[in-house]
Amino acid sequence: GIIVSCARVRPRAMALRIRCSKCMDVRTVFGNSSVSGTGSRGGTIVGLGSSSPFAGFSLPTRCLGDNPQECGPQPYSVLPDDCIFVDQQTMKLQEAPEMVPTGEMPRSVLVAVERGLVDKAAPGTRVTVVAIASLFNSGGGGGGGAGAKRPNDGGGVRTTYLRVVGMEKESSTADSARFSPAEEEAFRQLSRRP
């Protein structure tokens, strides 16, 4: 297909390092909201990342240290220098015009690229992608903020996207054209003619 639009490259947290502001308990929170850590001086990172590039993090609402009653509600703060981030970019991929039946509009899909695949294709570039088709909840249920109550998490609008694992630019014949020095000189001579 053809890349129609590209968002800016932005960091995406794979693991957040958090610390309780009262007892200094340090934990690691992963994208799937699992928490690791063993006490006040830190824990170990067991695994990385979340299943979706659009998923967020849920921090523990209570301290997980030795005396959680003394720390109060929402005691954790993020330690940005100890977190793990990767580059992420979203793009819109449109099906190739020659594949669209006559009289129909070309379809497009949202694609998410990470790490070494970011900034590899500008808008207008023809690409072939290998991707995993996935869904993410894109809201759709009234006023959704951080404190919004949702009776069941299964509702809302789900949007299809492709999580790209491989991308290759399609080469056109114009890009791959090579001319010998004799042909280049013939072109120069031809351009000088009146």
Q: What is the rounded end-to-end Cα distance, in angstroms, of the chain? A: 42
Short-list 31, 25, 100, CA closest to 62 = 25
Exposed/middle/buried for residue 110 (C-beta within 10 Å: 0-12, 13-18, 19+): middle
Spatial distance between the Cα atoms of 135 and 129, rounded to a whole number of angstroms: 18
* Predicted TM-score of the model (pTM): 0.61
User: pLDDT tens across 26-84, in order?
Assistant: 888 876 545 555 444 444 444 444 556 777 777 778 888 777 777 878 888 888 888 88
**pLDDT tens digit sequence for 123-158:** 888 888 898 888 877 765 444 444 444 444 556 788
What single-letter DSSP state applies at residue 82? G
Side chain identity at 128, as an amino acid letter?
T
Q: Closest by alpha carbon to 3, among 88, 87, 90?
A: 90
Residue with tokens 């957040």: 16
Q: Which amino acid is at 68?
A: P
